[in-house]
Structure 1
Amino acid sequence: MTHERHGAAEAADSVLVALADPTRRQLLDLMAAEGEATATTLAEQLPVSRQAVVKHLAVLDAAGLVSGRRAGREVRYAVQPGALDATARWMAALAADWDRRLANIKRIAEEAERDSG
C-alpha cells in the first residue's frame, strides 16, 4: 500500500469510527439541516444530555467531520464535508481495486475453462 493510500485509510478509520455511533450520525444530520448549532440546541433535539452531545461533538471534531467556532460564550458547530468526501473517495478506490481483482479472477477462470474444453 502506498504511503498516500495508507494515510487515506488511517483518516477513513477515524471517520468510520465516528460514524459508527447512531447519536453522532443524528448530530451530523441535524447540523447539515440547520447549518451551525450549539451543543445546547442539539441536545434539545436528542434524548441525550448536553454533556453527552459535547463528547460526541469532540469525536466528530477529531475525525474532521465538524468544526467549532467560538461566538461569545457559545461554541457553534458546523459540518465539514472534506473528511467525509475523502472517506467516500477512499472507499470508491477500494471498491474499484476489488472490481479489478474480481474481473481478473473471472478472466483467468474463463481462460482455464476454454483451455480445458
Structure 2
Amino acid sequence: MEIRDSFVLVAGFAQLPKGTPIFEVQKSIGCILVIDTETDIIVDCTFTFIRDITNDFISALLRGKSITRDIDEIINTVERRFIVPPKKAVIQAILSGYNRYIELDKENVKN
C-alpha cells in the first residue's frame, strides 16, 4: 500500500467480554484503520485477533467503506455477519476508532 499525505492511522480499543476464551488470552481488542482524509474511505484495516482468518474476514467487511457516511452500514454488517462472542467488543472498537477520526483536525494532517 502506498502511503499518501492524506492518509491517517487511527485506532480504537474495547475490552473483550469476561468469561470468553479470548479474554483469557488478550483482555482487549484493537481496531486499527488507515483512512484517506480526502474521501473518508477506509483504505486498510486490521484487528488484534490472534487468528488471521478472523482478522481477514472482519477487515474485508470494512475496507472500501466511508468511515463517516457508511458507519451505520458497517455496524449493521458486523452485527449480521460476524457471529462470535466478542462481537459487541469489536463494534465498540470500531466506534472508538470512528470517534477518534471524527475528532481529527483534517487541516493539520498534511502539515
Do they fold alike, i.e. is TM over 0.5?
A: no
Q: Which structure features the higher share of strand residues?
A: 2
Greater C-alpha Rg: 1
Q: Which structure features the higher share of helix residues?
A: 1
Q: What is the TM-score when the length of structure 2 is the normalising length? A: 0.31
Q: What is the TM-score when the length of structure 1 is the normalising length? A: 0.30
Structure with more relative contact order (C-alpha pairs < 8 Å, separation 6 or more)? 2
